Amino acid sequence: MSILFEHVTAVTMDPAAPVLRNAFVLVEGTAISQVGHTRPQGAFDRVVDCTGKVMMPGLINAHTHLPMTLMRGYGGGHDLQHWLNDYIFPAEDKLDSASVRAGTLLALAELIAGGVTCVADMYYFCPDIAQAVADSGISANISRSVTCFGPVDDPENYYACRELNAFREQWHGFDSGRIRVDASIHAEYTSFAAPNMWEYLGRYAADHKLGMQVHLSETRSEHLECMARHAGKTPFAVLDDYGVWQNGGVAAHCVWVSQDDMEGMVRRGVTAVHNPVSNLKLASGVAPVPRLLRAGVNVALGTDGVASNNSHGMFEEIKLAALLHKGVSRDPTAVSARQALEMATINGARALGRNTGCIAPGLDADLILVDFTHPGLTPCHDPEENLVFSAHGSDVVMNMARGKVIYENGAFLTLDLEDIRAQLEGYALPRIFG
Amino acid sequence: MSILFEHVTAVTMDPAAPVLRNAFVLVEGTAISQVGHTRPQGAFDRVVDCTGKVMMPGLINAHTHLPMTLMRGYGGGHDLQHWLNDYIFPAEDKLDSASVRAGTLLALAELIAGGVTCVADMYYFCPDIAQAVADSGISANISRSVTCFGPVDDPENYYACRELNAFREQWHGFDSGRIRVDASIHAEYTSFAAPNMWEYLGRYAADHKLGMQVHLSETRSEHLECMARHAGKTPFAVLDDYGVWQNGGVAAHCVWVSQDDMEGMVRRGVTAVHNPVSNLKLASGVAPVPRLLRAGVNVALGTDGVASNNSHGMFEEIKLAALLHKGVSRDPTAVSARQALEMATINGARALGRNTGCIAPGLDADLILVDFTHPGLTPCHDPEENLVFSAHGSDVVMNMARGKVIYENGAFLTLDLEDIRAQLEGYALPRIFG
């Protein structure tokens, strides 16, 4: 399959040519094969006229919990403990394979319509999540979140690690690496009873060349309690002592990380995933993103689960990432539009070990087209500014994942929305909330 | 004309019945005539089935500069002084009636598609703005912003005051009060050379029963410089000394107001308009909204001009108003979903002296329908939570202003989008930026 995009205005994320105008982009198979101002020779299966649209790399949501989309807005307005104990945990207790599958498909529909082509997920029921992702066409790093609230004698035989191992054997590398399995430690505060588990999982990730997803220093109390437990050591440092980061990692939130943590993250190749909406909604605080960037940390962007957002809208995260730090630091140049776009594209690709996030030959053809003709995107003095501050997921008119058009003009080409609704209304929602 | 809405789920903003389900709402002429669970008797010109949608009052954007939509994203990425001096001021110098008209129509198209039925505007070329608003069908409080950078001998004959007076005579009360003319002092820092002007405009507003729009304590330096100039008096207090608030007022931004200012605002019936996106983008800071609410100040919501946003999306402001203060104060109960919706509806109506912002009999029929069927609004455990944290202007499928459907399913029924585009591309944009 070959698709030629013509009359392309593109925000490429390629520093050599950040904005292209009236260009051609050729996709052959699953990859971008040509980008430039000369029309490629030959016949193509399809030619797409991009007049009035802006192309950019598909967005990468580097931290979420897909099935929690079932809990959108559930128990809103309560304080954190009430919300978790009386709403979220009881709902999670009732999850099963079929409801997780339905919730994941719902999440994927929202993500795809909003321009996401790659996601990092941390949850349970991973084979069900993987099957839904496989069907959807997008890429994902899926991790089985490990918690343990007491000592563990033999990590290798701990149920969550056995699940991880079976899941890795079944799904890691699926469809030329479209699905990757990551290791995951949920967080220091949900596993400090078993530091041998940290050691085991760090080595396991290195042995199998897996990523490592961890919630890191999301709340102040979590950060300080860890330091009290571990002779002043931060969550990053404690986990580092046990070799958790030996194959790099993806650390979600990083609201309270120290300067030393940042330097360690650079040394270990650990990405900080910024989740600005969730951090505000849960009153966790404002992550020190300008300092992370200055320290040289790779900063990616995520929505977190929809229960604490309440959306999978990556364009909202991009806008907020570019706004929030200006206002809080009172520096109008903090986190530029370009930097916010990088977080949502190439930085996410780097975090998840993927050959995407940029429009250039040889990369995976993960691309979106954004309609720039409606009033809210008019006029366009600068496509980057409009993408960051004026665009929204609802402006996405095409989503191409690995060379396959999976969404176009409101139609889902891999997912059956009516069937998803039937699964939700006929089973998942009554089971969990009925 | 009578329109019956049936199978209505409504977020009403009426404390007596905040959420209605399977209700009827009858609109006759320009007003809501019945709301309840019994089907009204009689024949109606139109019956609208609201299954799958949520009705709420039309949104009220209580602070913007409509024609600045022409400058969306213009000069983005520069610091404030560079942005103003090298981009915004030179562009504003080239404005004329026809370009202001085109820019205002563009702004109105964006606002209407995003669910806004009433707006407060502060700018120049007011008759051109008023004509565009008149054509659009929405309501507006339009003010001629007064600045003076030197002494003024005779305020009544100052050119800006003469413009205000002529504008008031021509437009105040147009179409049963759909257009109101407000007085306006741009800000203390742009007029302190002529305090007699403040005195004149305060009295003028009281004599003619006009609102008063002012930029108040937007930046820290503006606030502190005023205090240095006026023996420690804040902008609110100085203007109060000159009688500016004698007929109430609408104070935009209020990022740096003091506790005394808040108490004075309550006494004088002055509304604080929160503009969270603009305050972050321009690095002004975070307004003390929880403290304003605790003090009893009426807090409304605005986008500010699109040059510093870069959008007229009120749903984005609602979400950010509900998120930002939770994160910054680290209190997950700060600014509830309900409070954020109130800011965008009934509080805005109170600020602008309008009989709207709530779904109840006798009020102006300013209503919107939001499509709740797409994945990003599924499931719906709580319509208020979904409206605040999950909805976006692009979900608005009907906008009714004073009983007239002005937008439905993507179609503008009062504005000609092709003609607006032609005015922009054929004249306004080349004139200003060409």
pLDDT digits over B231-275, tens only? 999 999 999 999 999 999 999 999 999 999 999 999 999 999 999
Question: Coil, helix or strand for A345?
Answer: coil
What's the mean pLDDT in B107-125?
98
**From the CA of B160, how many Å to the nearest CA of chain A?**
29
Cβ–Cβ below 8 Å for B375 and A113: yes
The pLDDT value recorded for residue A348 is: 98
Q: Which of A104, A303, A311 has the highest number of chain B CBs within 10 A, making it the mutation to test binding with B?
A: A311
Cα–Cα distance, A291 to A329 (Å, whole number):
11
Cβ–Cβ below 8 Å for A281 and B80: no
What's the mean pLDDT in A315-328?
98
- Within this chain, do residues A125 and A272 fall inside the same structural domain, yes or no? yes
Contacts of B378 in chain A (CB under 8 A): 72, 106, 421, 424
Residue A183 pairs in a beta bridge with A212
- With 90 as the cut, is the pLDDT of residue B60 above it? yes
Q: Report yes or no on B284 lying in a domain.
A: yes
What's the mean pLDDT in A324-333?
96
Closest chain A residue to B328, measured at CA: A285
The pLDDT value recorded for residue B76 is: 86
Q: Report yes or no on A404 lying in a domain.
A: yes
Picking from B323, B352, B381, the residue at the C-terminal end of a domain is B352
Cα–Cα distance, A323 to B327 (Å, whole number):
14
Q: Report yes or no on A425 lying in a domain.
A: no
Predicted confidence band of residue B50 (pLDDT cuts 50, 70, 90): very high
Cα–Cα distance, A145 to B172 (Å, whole number):
63
Retrieve residue B12's tokens: 């009403």
**From the CA of B187, how many Å to the nearest CA of chain A?**
21
- Within this chain, do residues A234 and A199 fall inside the same structural domain, yes or no? yes
- Within this chain, do residues A177 and A282 fall inside the same structural domain, yes or no? yes
Cα–Cα distance, A266 to A271 (Å, whole number):
8
- Within this chain, do residues A243 and A324 fall inside the same structural domain, yes or no? yes
**How many residues are there in chain A?**
434
The pLDDT value recorded for residue B398 is: 99
Contacts of B285 in chain A (CB under 8 A): 327, 330
- Within this chain, do residues B27 and B84 fall inside the same structural domain, yes or no? no
* Chain segment A337-366, per-residue pLDDT in tens: 999 999 999 999 999 999 999 999 999 999
Cα–Cα distance, A247 to A284 (Å, whole number):
28
Q: Report yes or no on A388 lying in a domain.
A: yes
Query: Sign of the C-alpha dihedral, residues A273, B393, B348, B26?
Result: negative
How far does chain A reach from its first CA to its final CA, in angstroms? 46
The reply to whether ipTM tops 0.95 is: yes
What mean pLDDT is reported for chain A?
97
Amino acid letter for position A302 = G
**From the CA of B288, how many Å to the nearest CA of chain A?**
13
Q: Which of B112, B223, B330 has the highest number of chain A CBs within 10 A, making it the mutation to test binding with A?
A: B330
The pLDDT value recorded for residue A153 is: 96
Residue B163, classified by CB atoms within 10 Å of its CB into exposed (0-12), middle (13-18) or buried (19+), is middle
Contacts of A320 in chain B (CB under 8 A): 320
Q: Report yes or no on A419 lying in a domain.
A: no
Cα–Cα distance, B105 to B428 (Å, whole number):
12
Contacts of B71 in chain A (CB under 8 A): 381
The pLDDT value recorded for residue B434 is: 87
Contacts of B340 in chain A (CB under 8 A): none
Which residue from B83, B282, B382 is facing A73, i.e. has the nearest CB? B382
The pLDDT value recorded for residue B79 is: 79
- Within this chain, do residues B48 and B143 fall inside the same structural domain, yes or no? no
Show Cβ contacts of residue B154 under 8 Å, excluding neighbours closer than 6 positions. none
**From the CA of A43, how many Å to the nearest CA of chain B?**
35
Domain span at A364: 2-57+359-412
Here the CATH number for the domain that contains residue A266 is 3.20.20.140
Cα–Cα distance, B327 to B320 (Å, whole number):
10
Amino acid letter for position B298 = N
Retrieve residue A117's tokens: 């082509």
- With 90 as the cut, is the pLDDT of residue B401 above it? yes
The pLDDT value recorded for residue B236 is: 98
- Within this chain, do residues B268 and B372 fall inside the same structural domain, yes or no? no
Here the CATH number for the domain that contains residue B35 is 2.30.40.10
What's the mean pLDDT in A395-402?
98
**From the CA of A36, how many Å to the nearest CA of chain B?**
26
- With 90 as the cut, is the pLDDT of residue A258 above it? yes
Question: Coil, helix or strand for A392?
Answer: coil
**Between residues B77 and B316, the one the model is more confident about:** B316
Task: Please report the number of interchain residue pairs, chain A to chain B, with beta-carbon separation below 8 angstroms.
Answer: 199
What's the mean pLDDT in A151-180?
98
Q: Report yes or no on A418 lying in a domain.
A: no
Predicted confidence band of residue A328 (pLDDT cuts 50, 70, 90): very high
Q: Report yes or no on A137 lying in a domain.
A: yes
Nearest to A146 by CA among A244, A233, A61: A244
Retrieve residue A333's tokens: 């140049």
Contacts of B386 in chain A (CB under 8 A): 72-73, 310
Cβ–Cβ below 8 Å for B73 and A220: no
What's the mean pLDDT in B33-38?
98
Contacts of A390 in chain B (CB under 8 A): 72-73, 310-311
Q: How far is CA A90 from the centre of its chain?
A: 26
Which residue from A313, A330, A386 is facing B285, i.e. has the nearest CB? A330
The pLDDT value recorded for residue B82 is: 87
Show Cβ contacts of residue A425 under 8 Å, excluding neighbours closer than 6 positions. none
Q: Report yes or no on A335 lying in a domain.
A: yes
What mean pLDDT is reported for chain B?
97
Cα–Cα distance, A432 to A306 (Å, whole number):
16
The pLDDT value recorded for residue A169 is: 98
Residue B288 vs residues A77, A261, B39, B331: alpha-carbon distances, Å: 20, 32, 45, 13
Cβ–Cβ below 8 Å for A381 and B329: no
Cβ–Cβ below 8 Å for A327 and B71: no
CB-side neighbour CA atoms (13 Å) of A154: 4
Q: What percent of chain B has pLDDT over 90?
A: 97
The pLDDT value recorded for residue A105 is: 98
- Within this chain, do residues A45 and A67 fall inside the same structural domain, yes or no? no
Closest chain A residue to B395, measured at CA: A394
Predicted confidence band of residue B32 (pLDDT cuts 50, 70, 90): very high
User: What is the total count of domains within chain A?
Assistant: 2
How far does chain B reach from its first CA to its final CA, in angstroms? 46
Cα–Cα distance, B309 to B286 (Å, whole number):
15
- Within this chain, do residues A236 and A367 fall inside the same structural domain, yes or no? no
Which residue from A72, A109, A390 is facing B386, i.e. has the nearest CB? A72
Q: What is the 3-state secondary structure (H, E, C) of chain B?
A: CEEEEEEEEEECCCCCCCEEEEEEEEEECCEEEEEECCCCCCCCCEEEECCCEEEEECEEEEEECHHHHHHCCCCCCCCHHHHHHHHHHHHHHCCCHHHHHHHHHHHHHHHHHCCEEEEEEEECCHHHHHHHHHHHCCEEEEEECECCCCCCCCHHHCHHHHHHHHHHHHHCCHHHHCEEEEEEEEEHHHCCCCHHHHHHHHHHHHHHCCCEEEEECCCHHHHHHHHHHCCCCCHHHHHHHCCCCECEEEEEECCCCCHHHHHHHHHHCEEEEECHHHHHHCCCCCCCHHHHHHHCCCEEECCCCHHHCCCCCHHHHHHHHHHHHHHHHCCCCCCCHHHHHHHCCHHHHHHHCCCCCCCCCCCECCEEEEECCCHHHCCCCCHHHHHHHCCCHHHEEEEEECCEEEEECCEECCCCHHHHHHHHHHHHHHHHHC
- Within this chain, do residues A312 and A261 fall inside the same structural domain, yes or no? yes
Q: What is the 3-state secondary structure (H, E, C) of A158-215?
A: CHHHHHHHHHHHHHCCHHHHCEEEEEEEEEHHHCCCCHHHHHHHHHHHHHHCCCEEEE
* Chain segment A30-76, per-residue pLDDT in tens: 999 999 999 999 999 999 999 999 999 999 999 999 999 999 999 98
- Within this chain, do residues B331 and B279 fall inside the same structural domain, yes or no? yes
Which residue from B309, B377, B386 is facing A389, i.e. has the nearest CB? B309
The pLDDT value recorded for residue B172 is: 98
C-alpha triplet B338, A115, A182: angle, nearest 5°: 95
What's the mean pLDDT in B32-55?
97
Residue A242 vs residues A216, B165, B319: alpha-carbon distances, Å: 15, 75, 40
**How many residues are there in chain B?**
434
Question: Coil, helix or strand for A336?
Answer: coil
Cβ–Cβ below 8 Å for A283 and B319: no
Which residue from A279, A283, A326 is facing B283, i.e. has the nearest CB? A326
- Within this chain, do residues A109 and A51 fall inside the same structural domain, yes or no? no
Write down the pTM of the prediction. 0.98
**From the CA of A226, how many Å to the nearest CA of chain B?**
20
* Chain segment A191-250, per-residue pLDDT in tens: 999 999 999 999 999 999 999 999 999 999 999 999 999 999 999 999 999 999 999 999
Helix, strand, coil percentages in chain A from 3-state DSSP, rounded to 5 = 45, 25, 35
